[in-house]
Amino acid sequence: MLVATAGLVWMIYLIKNSLGQTLDEPGKDIPAESGNLAPKPAWLRYHVRYYGYALLFLAFDMEMAYMYPWAVVYQEVGLLALLDMGVFLMILFLGLVYTWTQGGLNRQ
């Protein structure tokens, strides 16, 4: 599959190049800002306002890594598995509720 991707991409680029070069003109390489020049680079300290969610995502992602093997053996182990994982999920869920009430799940 990776080979197929590489092949596809290479072919597209090849065809593109055969169709001519880009003419270098002033203003062409400035990012489009609906009719204005945007000469300043946009690489700024961007205020990402959802960092509360990002933190919570980390915690849950770690949890999900443990859930996958659990899910596979769930039916074998039975009720015990449900209870065990239930406790784990409850703890994390409480974490979610805590963040919710503390205002972490908002636009900061």
Partner 1 sequence: MMKYGARKGKMNFFRRWMAKAASRELCIFPVPGSDVLRTYQSESLSGQARLTTNSREANVLLVVGDMSRAMAGQAAIVYAQMPRPRVLVMAGPEHLDPLPHPDVHVTLENDFLTTALPVIREYLSNHSWKDEAEAWRPETLVNKIEEAGQQQGHMHDHGGHDHGHEGHQHGGHEGHDHSAHQHEEHGHGHHTEHASHDHGHNHGGHDHGAHGHGGHDHGSGFMSMIAMTKDLPRSADGLPMEWSDVQFGPFHPGLPGGLCLSMKLDGDTVAEAEADQNLTGRNLLASIPDNPMALPEYLEAVNPMAPVTYRLLAQKALVNFSSEAGNSALTLPEAVLLEKERITSHLNWLAVLAVVLGSDWMRDQAIKHYHRFQNDTGSVPQLSGFIKRVKKMPYLKLKLSVASHGIGETEEHNQGVAGDTHVEHHYEHNADSHSDHCHEEGDEYKPHDHGKPGHEGHGRGSHGSHEQSHEGHEHHHEEHNHSDHQLKDHKQESHEHEHADHPHKEGDESKKHEHHGEHNHSHEMHQHAGHEHHEHVHHDHGSGDEKEQAIGPGLNQLLGDITGPVARAAGIEKDHRLEEAVYQQAGWTPVTATGNNAWSRLMVRLDEIEQSLRFIEKAGNDSGSESSQKINIPSIGMGNGIAHIESPRGKVTLKFHIHEGKLAHVHLASPSAALAGLVKPITEQQELADALTAVTSLDISPWEINP
Partner 2 sequence: MTPFLNGFIISLLFVGGVYVVAVLERWSMTGNVNWPGPARSFYLLFAQEEIKTRKHDKVFFETAPILFIGVILLTISILPFGRGSVMVDLGTGALFINAALVYVMVSLLMVGWAVNGVYAMVGGWRALAQLIAYSMPVVMVLTATVMRAESMFLTDIVESQQSLWNILYQPVGFMLFYISALAITFLPPFDLPVAEGELAGGVWADLTGARKLLFRLGRLTLVLTLSVAVVVLYLGGWMGPWLPGFVWTFLKTFLVATSFFAIGRYMPRIRHDHLLEYNWKYGVPLALYNIFQVGIVLLL
H or E element at residue 2: helix 2-18
Q: Report the alpha-carbon distance of residue 35 to residue 30 in Å, rounded.
A: 11
CA distance 106 to 92: 19
Q: How far is the CB of 69 from partner 2 (least distance, A)?
A: 9
CA 68 vs CA 55, 56, 64, 72, 83: distances in Å: 21, 19, 7, 7, 16
Supply the minimum distance, in Å, between the C-beta of residue 77 and partner 1. Answer: 29
- Contacting partner 1 (CB under 8 A), which of 10, 13, 51, 74? 51
Residues 3-22 that bind partner 2 (CB under 8 A): 4-5, 8-9, 12-13, 15-16, 19-20, 22
Task: Give the x/- contact pattern for partner 1 in 89-108, rule: CB under 8 A.
Answer: --------x--xxxx-xxxx
**Closest distance of CB 70 from partner 1, Å:** 20
